[in-house]
Amino acid sequence: GHLPEPDAVAGLVQAAWERYRPVTEGMVADYIPALAAASPDWFGLCVAGINGATHAAGEADRPFSIQSISKPFVFALVCQALGGGRARESIGVNATGLAFNSVMAIELNAGHTMNPMVNAGAIATTSLVPGRSHAEKWRFLLDGLSSFAGRSLAMDEEVYASEAATNQRNQGIARLLHGYGRMYCDPDEATDLYTRQCAVSVTARDLAVMGATLADGGVNPVTRERVLDADRCRRVLAVMATAGLYEQSGDWLYEIGLPGKSGVAGGIVTIAPGKGGLGIFSPPLDEAGNSVRGQLATRFLSERLGLNLFASA
């Protein structure tokens, strides 16, 4: 199936925005100091079909840092470069059921491998990025993320500097993984590249196009570039379903029935395979670090657009 008719999608996107705009729950993240400046009122959403058509409401073009939503796309780029089998052995794909920055997850998981949607697995993923120098690896990341968005993305220097000065916990995670033989380049280099990828600036519209690329087996619907092979694309959606919303991934799948990924700046990307992508931006977060309005609006649109993967009709 496809998305409903364009007018119906546009109407529902607008309805979701109006319905959840008054919500006041959630707290803007402040553990990365630069994120604390975000307004709790910012709210934008966008649906992109696999034909490239977009339907937006609210502040769909306001830039924010991608944060953890970089994880599935960087995992995709590493799978594309190394193969899905190698990625699974080196990184791991099981759910952690724990917070995004959990150190216990590293201790408890067999072989100390980790799902690429949580920090430990994501830093391990970034440590596999090909390149002979830090600059080459960063180019690979920025070019790859830009291919998913269909435009040249850039890093927000202020967010990067703010997180780099306060990310001792991620540095510790990278070194712990190193101790277990699960870091594949220098741990400090991997943490720096990971911090950079998290500071890349995107909009809800970008997230929708990036999601639609994963919905169409790896082909960007706007540029028609194949960014990822279809067999690898399926793997990316699988890890998103297991841990994309961290310890709330079960609740998310139960309510929404689609692979998704959140970030602490307030973004959420959701993929309806074969149909399209949904990008939402709203900074107030719940306890797990997932956008409150993002979850509500995604549930509404999944239901009204008939996207749940577990529905038989």
- Residue numbers in the known binding site for substrate are 68, 119, 163, 170, 194, 246, 264
Tell me if residue 68 is catalytic.
Answer: yes
Residue 211 binding ligand GLN, by CB under 6 A: no
The single residue among 34, 55, 60, 68 that binds ligand GLN, judged by CB under 6 A, is 68
* Per CB under 6 A, 100 contacts ligand GLN: yes
Binding residue (CB under 6 A) for ligand GLN from 54, 80, 90, 101: 101
* Contacting residue, 210, 289, 295, 307, with ligand GLN by CB under 6 A: 289
Catalytically annotated residue among 9, 47, 68, 269: 68
x/- map, 179-208, ligand GLN, by CB under 6 A: -------------------x----------
Q: Does 282 bind ligand GLN (CB under 6 A)?
A: no
Contact pick of 54, 67, 249, 282 for ligand GLN (by CB under 6 A): 67
The two tokens of residue 241 are 């379903």
Structure tokens at 257: 């029935």
The active-site residue, picked from 118, 202, 236, 264, is 264
Interface with ligand GLN (CB under 6 A), residue total 11
CB of 170 vs ligand GLN, minimal distance in Å: 5
State yes or no: residue 126 binds ligand GLN (CB under 6 A).
Answer: no
Q: Residue 102 interacts with ligand GLN (CB under 6 A)?
A: no
CB of residue 95 to ligand GLN, shortest distance in Å? 16
Catalytic, 275? Answer: no
Distance CA(8)–CA(301), nearest Å, equals: 11
Q: Which of positions 258-277 make contact with ligand GLN (CB under 6 A)?
A: 263-264
Give the list of residues 6+ apart from residue 237 with CB closer than 8 angstroms, or none.
214, 259, 271, 273
Q: Is 78 in the active site?
A: no
Mapping DSSP onto H, E and C, the string for the chain reads: CCCCCHHHHHHHHHHHHHHHCCCCCCECCCCCHHHHHCCCCCCEEEEEECCCCEEEEECCCCCEECHHHHHHHHHHHHHHHHCHHHHHHHHCCCCCCCCCCCCHHHHHCHHHCCCCCCHHHHHHHHCCCCCCCHHHHHHHHHHHHHHHHCCCCCECHHHHHHHHCCCHHHHHHHHHHHHCCCCCCCHHHHHHHHHHHHCEEECHHHHHHHHHHHHCCCECCCCCCECCCHHHHHHHHHHHHHHCCHHHHHHHHHHHCCCEEECCCCEEEEEECCCEEEEEECCCECCCCCEHHHHHHHHHHHHHCCCCCCCCC
**Active-site residue 246, yes or no?**
yes
Q: What's the rounded Cα separation, in Å, for the pair 33 and 223?
A: 35
Does 106 engage in binding with ligand GLN (CB under 6 A)?
no
The nearer residue to ligand GLN, 63 or 306, going by C-beta atoms, is 63
Based on the shown chain and the rule CB under 6 A, indicate whether residue 119 belongs to the binding site for ligand GLN.
Answer: yes
**Cα-atom radius of gyration of the chain, to the nearest Å?**
18
Residue in 20, 160, 184, 246 annotated catalytic = 246
Compute the least distance from the CB of residue 130 to ligand GLN, in Å.
Answer: 22
Residue 264 annotated among the catalytic residues of the structure? yes
- Give contact residues for ligand GLN (rule: CB under 6 A): 67-68, 100-101, 119, 163, 170, 198, 263-264, 289
Catalytic residue numbers read: 68, 71, 194, 246, 264
